[in-house]
Structure 1
Amino acid sequence: MTGPTRLITLAAAVLGFLGVALGAFGAHGLKATLEAHGSVETWKTAVLYQLVHAVALLALAGWRDAHAGPSGRVAALWTLGVALFSGSLYWLALGGPKFLGPVTPLGGLAFLLGWGCLAWHAWRQPVA
């Protein structure tokens, strides 16, 4: 496993582990708090996006070995997206300061840029 592939796989594993842990913690340990703030759906959205991008990172790590390209950039954008998007939603769901609200779309933008970068690279690949 190459260095970059190892880092992408590690990021996928950490984000996946934390996504499952935070999903369970939200459903059980934080249930009353999230219900009191009316933010159960916000928490679920944060977990969903985190887990989807953990799985996408894992797929990207496998693809990276077979294809040279922007995998590191895509992985960095998706990881930043999880930190900003899911991270701000977790914080807001727990009653964090509302000034974090504008951070969420920045995470969404990082997700979109990562997907766009991946699409651009796939489009430019020669057809075998």
Structure 2
Amino acid sequence: MNAFKTSAIAFTFALLSAASLQAQSTTPKTFGTSLYRVQNSMKMRLSVEKTPGETVSVRLIDQDGKELHRESIGRRIDKYGCYFDFSKVEDGDYTIEIANGAEVERKAIHLGSKEVVKAPARALVALN
């Protein structure tokens, strides 16, 4: 019984050590992003927060792989924000790519417009 307890404790410590080594081997991300639509508009806001000393590039790519826009965020900037205006582009799929050479993060955007269909007029009648 005592040998079983010792083996169980040793096994538990081995698992904890393996989990600790695995957690240490994963490298933390050097930048974080958020993308959201600006209310009542055709604009998207991109926010990037990064560690100083890293250069990060931002690209807007269409569904054919054509680069529509490129920006570079300098080494001294740690927080960055920009707007993308989609009111003058055609319907389709777009990708915003944020990269620093080692890491790449992609945000997919689908732009589509539907034909507006007018709903028939409705009547409300109250009966007593």
TM-score, normalised by the number of residues in structure 2:
0.24
**Structure with the larger helix share:** 1
Larger Rg over CA atoms? 2
